[in-house]
Structure 1
Amino acid sequence: MNKVAVVTDSTATIPADVISDMGIHVVPLTLVWGEETFLDGVEVTAEQFYERLQSDTNFPSTTQPSALEFENAYKTVADNHDSILVITISSELSGTYNSAVQAKEMMDGIDIEIIDTKTMSMSAGFIVLAAAMAAKEGKGLSECASIAKEANDNVGVLVALDTLEYLHRGGRIGGARKLLGGALNIKPILTVQDGIVQDAGKVRTKKKALRHLVDTVSAELEGKTNIRLAGLHASAYADCEKMLGQLVDIVKPTQSLITELSPVVGAHAGPGAIGIAWIHD
């Protein structure tokens, strides 16, 4: 039994098999679609979501887990662990962190530390994995948290969208707002800096967008060691696989994987989004 339980939220988009292998506990966000609600990645799959998103005239919204949902997660893991490390999506992008903090105040008798990653998707996921590996090795709460915070300094994410429409509708457009109103065929390139979505460039075709991802990330990672990569996509596996393959040939990572953006993340990114998340030592 690990002394430390590692808890995260569903926007980290860590592949299900990795979550199971590493013993990570996930608190899902909620997708709201008209009168229906779905727990992210639990009650609706990514495939079902993206198929409906492209045909349904109603636009889904998303909401963070409640403090009660986090409290229930804490109680579940408290029976078998000495302490809990919670790692969440940026507090600038979601109220998830605040719910986790509120739930901590409801708990007695167990140490809980909560980290706001100020990032999203697998760049947060890599931080979670670093903490989970430390927990699996038997390290205590303070050491697991320290390892997570160190990892937080060495992650990044870059995403190419087919359109800004979904990000704009969802209200998460942040520093990319200036790209609105541009040519319809523009493919915006976005990153997360200081916890919010920021403009990282724009190109005119998907082919150029993929090339931009490869060139930018390979330059960012030049000279770095122990690189791990995650290809991200929203119903665009083939393009993601091609892009990741090109990047792997250049940066020679120690690990690479592909994961599909969960419905809650995809509601803001939109179908066709492709990205890359990374971590290095």
Structure 2
Amino acid sequence: MSKVKVIIDSTVYLPEEYIKNLDIDVIPLHVIWGDEIYRDGVDLLPDEFYRRLPDAKVMPTTSQPSPKEFMSLYEKYLAEGRDILSIHISSQMSGTVDSAVQAKAHLHADNIEVIDSEFTTLGTAFQAIAAAKAAKEGASLAECLEIAKKIRSNTQIYFLVDTLEFLKRGGRIGGATALLGSALNLKPILYVKEGKIEAYGKVRTMKKALARIIEIFENQVGNKKPIYVGISHATAPENAAWLKAEIQKRFKETDFIEFIESELSPVIGTHAGPGTVALNFATME
């Protein structure tokens, strides 16, 4: 058992094999749907969430874990004598980091580090995976923290949504407000910058938008290999598969540190909406 325990939140929606093999724990955010409160990825899984969403009379909302929930999880690992690296969704998108910081303060624990990933979904995953791998090899908490920060500084997420209405409704639209009211046949390309969602541009069709994301990806990566790559989507398997196939045409298997595929969790789906597809990547420099 490694000395450092890496904790992420459910918005990462990291495939189970990574959770198990790298000894990562997950704290769920909440989906509030009418009178029901669900733990993201525990009580409510993507298949059921996206099946129910189109016919819902009341739209779901979300909330972060409470400081008390973080304290309970932290206390479990502190009792085992472990240090904790807690890596979470951008503080510009959620109050999750704030809850974690409050929990650390209440526990007066110097061996807990909370890091704002400045991303979400698989953009956060790369930081957690790199830190957890280092922890398994005996790295200290300080070393794991620096590794996560280095990955963070080299991470990018570009994504497409079927409609901006979900981002607008949830207040997560950020700098993409400029694209509201665009013609229906224009597809916005969005990205995450300094923890916020910003508009990169817009093209006329989904196919052209996907091709543009691949072009951006190739230009940004250049010769900085090997790389982390993650493709995540909400009810957009064909577009996700197209991205994967195009990347595999252009890169060798040895060019990837990790190539991860995942659905978007119900919490992220609440704000991004069905039809979203994202390309997440991180270089080592």
The corresponding residue for 1:39 is 39
Query: Is 1:114 matched up with 2:114?
Result: yes
Q: How does 1:188-227 map to 2 (within 5 A)?
A: 188-227=188-227
Q: How does 1:129-208 map to 2 (within 5 A)?
A: 129-208=129-208
Q: Against the structure 1 CA distance between its residues 97 and 109, is the aligned structure 2 distance closer, same or farther, given a 3 Å change threshold? A: closer
Deviation readout 1:237-270 (Å, 9 max, x if unpaired):
2220121110122133323121001000011111
Give the C-alpha shift of residue 108 in structure 1.
4.1
Give the C-alpha shift of residue 217 in structure 1.
0.9
How many residue pairs get aligned? The number is 281
RMSD of equivalent CA atoms:
1.2
Contact 1:160 1:213 in 2 (8 A): no
Q: Percent identity?
A: 42
SS of match in other structure, 2:85: strand
AA paired with 2:249? D
SS of match in other structure, 2:107: coil
Query: Is 1:256 matched up with 2:268?
Result: no
Contact 2:32 2:61 in 1 (8 A): yes
AA paired with 2:161? L
Give the C-alpha shift of residue 82 in structure 1.
2.5
Contact 1:221 1:251 in 2 (8 A): no
AA paired with 1:256? F
SS of match in other structure, 1:202: strand
Q: Which runs of 5+ in 2 are unaligned?
A: none
Give the C-alpha shift of residue 90 in structure 1.
0.8
Q: Which runs of 5+ in 1 are unaligned?
A: none
Measured in 1, the distance between the counterparts of 2:30 and 2:117 equals 20
Contact 2:189 2:200 in 1 (8 A): yes
Measured in 2, the distance between the counterparts of 1:25 and 1:110 equals 20
AA paired with 2:183? A
Deviation readout 1:197-222 (Å, 9 max, x if unpaired):
00011122221121111111111111
Higher mean C-alpha displacement, 25-34 vs 72-81: 72-81
SS of match in other structure, 1:84: strand
Contact 1:7 1:84 in 2 (8 A): yes
TM-score (norm 1): 0.97
The corresponding residue for 2:274 is 271
The corresponding residue for 2:105 is 105
Instruction: Return structure 1 stretches of 4+ with deviation > 2 angstroms.
Output: 79-82
TM-score (norm 2): 0.95
Measured in 2, the distance between the counterparts of 1:219 and 1:235 equals 28
Measured in 1, the distance between the counterparts of 2:218 and 2:34 equals 42
Query: Is 1:67 matched up with 2:70?
Result: no
Contact 1:30 1:264 in 2 (8 A): yes
Measured in 2, the distance between the counterparts of 1:120 and 1:108 equals 27
AA paired with 2:270? A
Query: Is 1:5 matched up with 2:8?
Result: no
SS of match in other structure, 1:106: helix
Q: How does 1:17-96 map to 2 (within 5 A)?
A: 17-96=17-96
